[in-house]
Amino acid sequence: MIEQIPLARLLGIPRLRRIITRAYERQLLAEIKAHGRVPKHVGIILDGNRRFASKQGLPPVAGHVRGANKLEEVLEWCQELGIKHVTVYAFSTENFRRSPEEVSALMKLFAERFKQAAADERVHKYKVRIRVIGDLNKLPSDVREAVEIAQKATSGYDGHTLNIAIGYGGRAELAHAVRKICERIERGELKPDQVNEKLIEQNLYTAGLPDPDLIIRTSGEERLSGFLLWQSAYSEFYFCEANWPEFTKLEFLRAIRNYQARERRFGR
């Protein structure tokens, strides 16, 4: 019996599509580099891991694993463009409400990946400082230990910064900053009229870093969900339909090119 070969395959359409996509990627990359203005700090809301898994008929944890692998890819793309700082929203305070099985699997994945990051030759080659922002007290001890390993191994680096938001909420971050300032006022180290925007920024988890120039969110949702509420006051936003594990280099380059096409006025 003669095998029935799909017409698209017979015509080589998938291969042709890949060739065209790669050519467009090269064109966009060249345009971006020629323009020269790339964001110093990019924030990414990693959304859609579970939806991706559901579409593939896989358990949620499989989507999270694919999402973790995708993050490594995206960080390489950021490195290629010279983006100095990246902050990713990996796990919010609300995510603790998910099923115990999913939360447990995610925490195990976090512990594994932080230990791997501490030994990753790319991290040390590019001098990437890894920081975790959020309420670490809510994390299991093995995750906290893995975080400490990664942070300690990269604490002396200043080439690039990777902030990973885990157990993070924007309102909780602001409340944490206010408490720290109130404690200083109570100790007599500050007066209320000395509290200003700069002081608040100095007490945020991201102290010492520039605010994000661009925030990308995947999966078609168009909201911040509490991500970097203070820091995003003048950020540009880019939303795309792809679930996070499906996020492509072409989509990433489109986000950067879109950012370059905007005129940033900062309220002026």
Pick the catalytic residue from 47, 120, 211, 213: 47
| CA–CA dist 119, 186 (Å, integer) | 43
State residue 1's pLDDT score: 46
Q: Check if 47 is active-site.
A: yes
Q: Report whether pLDDT(22) > 90.
A: no
Q: What is the pLDDT of residues 207-221, one digit of tens each?
A: 999 999 999 999 999
State residue 11's pLDDT score: 55
State residue 18's pLDDT score: 80
Q: Check if 211 is active-site.
A: no
Q: What is the pLDDT of residues 62-89, one digit of tens each?
A: 999 999 999 999 999 999 999 999 999 9
Q: What is the pLDDT of residues 131-178, one digit of tens each?
A: 999 999 999 999 999 999 999 999 999 989 999 999 999 999 999 999
Report H helices in 97-202: 100-119, 121-125, 141-154, 170-186, 197-202
pLDDT average, residue stretch 185-201: 97
State residue 15's pLDDT score: 75
Side chain identity, residue 83: I
Q: Report whether pLDDT(117) > 90.
A: yes
State residue 242's pLDDT score: 97
State residue 14's pLDDT score: 73
The residues, ordered by sequence, that sit 6+ positions from 97 with a Cβ below 8 Å of its Cβ are none
Query: CA 131, 220, 230 angle in degrees (round to 5)?
Result: 40
Higher local confidence (pLDDT), 42 or 12: 42
Q: What is the mean pLDDT of the chain?
A: 93
Q: In the chain, what are the domains?
A: 39-260 (3.40.1180.10)
pLDDT band at 9 (very low <50, low <70, confident <90, very high): low
Pick the catalytic residue from 95, 135, 142, 258: 95
